[in-house]
């Protein structure tokens, strides 16, 4: 029974890997993004298998609508449903490109409207409390404090911080090189405190973690292997607990704080966009909305008519 279902959808499954390769090499998308699209398509593949759909061109608008309804019934968030539908649209465009499909109804699908949620941003005091919360007696203090300093100093994503290598740093002029989504390179300045902690970690802890291994990754685990993005999250979560912060605090929280605090301090939007690695300035503009919320709270608190 399982084998039969796999055969029914083999036309589909066999093209997911080439599609992911296309996204990375031709479209310049990050590996994690291509992986997420693949996971979305696996779910769509199961849906097509249940329909016993053997010919992709026979996929009807009603069936596509039913897929969206199926995702909603699975209690997926609106943003996740939108991404699933985008994955399917892009996939069928790929099938047309390689000549496997001549036409598709996928572009007729409308994604559900999503609310634009303001990112969670800590005020400057709480951000400093978070960055400095790592216990100085911890064996990994220098590594973890360096990580926290760099995340706030640069606004890097967790995967970007985990991907840093030794040659990415220029301590003399206070800059580091960061490879973002789609392997796009950007140069970000780092302040003196972050530089000093990074040097201290390099000189006094990293050699002990490395031992006799040969490794170019900047951040290492206790066993001398490169850190991954999950371990970066754990470092931030541990710091949030030690700082006594409630609610969800992640590496992206520090990224949001970086962007918001720069704009609130008078930085221009284009420079912040460049440092965050946003492809579209509209993504960066959300931090101006965060600042407007702060101004509204100040107005409400101090204006005699508020």
* Residues with a known catalytic role: 157, 181, 252, 255, 278, 287
| pLDDT single digits (tens) 222-260 | 999 999 999 999 999 999 999 999 888 999 999 999 998
| pLDDT single digits (tens) 77-126 | 777 888 888 888 888 888 888 888 887 777 666 665 554 566 788 999 99
Q: Which pLDDT score, from 0 to 100, does residue 11 have?
A: 59
Tokens (6 digits) for 166: 């030794």
| pLDDT single digits (tens) 143-152 | 999 999 999 9
Asked if residues 15 and 95 have their Cβ atoms less than 8 Å apart, the reply is: yes
**Which pLDDT band holds residue 279 (cuts at 50, 70, 90)?**
confident
| pLDDT single digits (tens) 179-228 | 887 778 899 999 999 999 999 999 999 999 999 889 999 999 999 999 99
Residue 7 pLDDT greater than 60, yes or no: no
185 contacts: CB under 8 Å, gap ≥ 6: 177, 178, 179
Report which DSSP code applies to 106.
G
Rounded to the nearest integer, the mean pLDDT of the chain is 85
**Which pLDDT band holds residue 4 (cuts at 50, 70, 90)?**
very low
Residue 5 pLDDT greater than 50, yes or no: no
In percent, the amount of the chain with pLDDT more than 90 equals 41
Between CA 123 and CA 74 the distance in angstroms is 36
Asked if residues 144 and 200 have their Cβ atoms less than 8 Å apart, the reply is: no
Asked if residues 275 and 155 have their Cβ atoms less than 8 Å apart, the reply is: yes
The domains located in the chain, with CATH, are 2-108 (1.10.150), 124-302 (1.10.443.10)
Core vs surface per residue 215-226: b (16+ CB within 10 A) or e: eebbbbeeebeb
């Amino acid at each position: 029974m399982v084998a039969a279902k796999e055969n029914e959808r083999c036309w589909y499954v066999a093209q997911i890997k080439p599609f992911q390769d296309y996204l990375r090499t031709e479209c310049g998308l990050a590996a994690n993004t291509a992986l997420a699209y693949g996971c979305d398509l696996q779910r769509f593949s199961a849906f097509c298998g249940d329909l016993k759909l053997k010919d992709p061109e026979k996929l009807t608008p009603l069936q596509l609508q039913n897929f969206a309804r199926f995702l909603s019934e699975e209690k997926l968030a609106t943003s996740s449903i939108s991404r699933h539908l985008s994955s399917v649209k892009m996939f069928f465009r790929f099938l047309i490109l390689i000549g496997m499909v001549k036409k598709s109804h996928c572009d007729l699908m409308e994604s559900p409207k999503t609310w634009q949620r303001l990112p969670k941003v800590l005020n400057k005091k709480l951000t400093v409390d978070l960055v400095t919360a790592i216990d100085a007696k911890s064996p990994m203090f220098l590594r973890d404090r360096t990580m926290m300093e760099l995340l706030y100093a640069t606004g890097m994503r967790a995967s970007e911080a985990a991907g840093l290598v030794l040659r990415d740093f220029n301590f003399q002029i206070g800059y580091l090189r960061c490879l973002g989504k789609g392997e796009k390179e950007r140069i970000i300045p780092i302040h003196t405190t972050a530089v000093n902690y990074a040097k201290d970690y390099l000189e006094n802890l990293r050699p002990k973690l490395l031992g006799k291994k040969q490794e170019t990754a900047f951040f290492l685990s206790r066993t001398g292997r490169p850190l991954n993005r999950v371990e970066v999250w754990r470092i931030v979560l541990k710091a949030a607990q030690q700082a006594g912060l409630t609610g969800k605090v992640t590496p992206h929280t520090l990224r949001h704080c970086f962007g918001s605090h720069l704009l609130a301090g008078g930085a221009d939007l284009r420079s912040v966009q460049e440092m965050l690695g946003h492809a579209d300035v509209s993504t960066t503009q959300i931090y101006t909305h965060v600042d407007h919320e702060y101004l509204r709270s100040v107005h409400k608190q101090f204006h005699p008519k508020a």
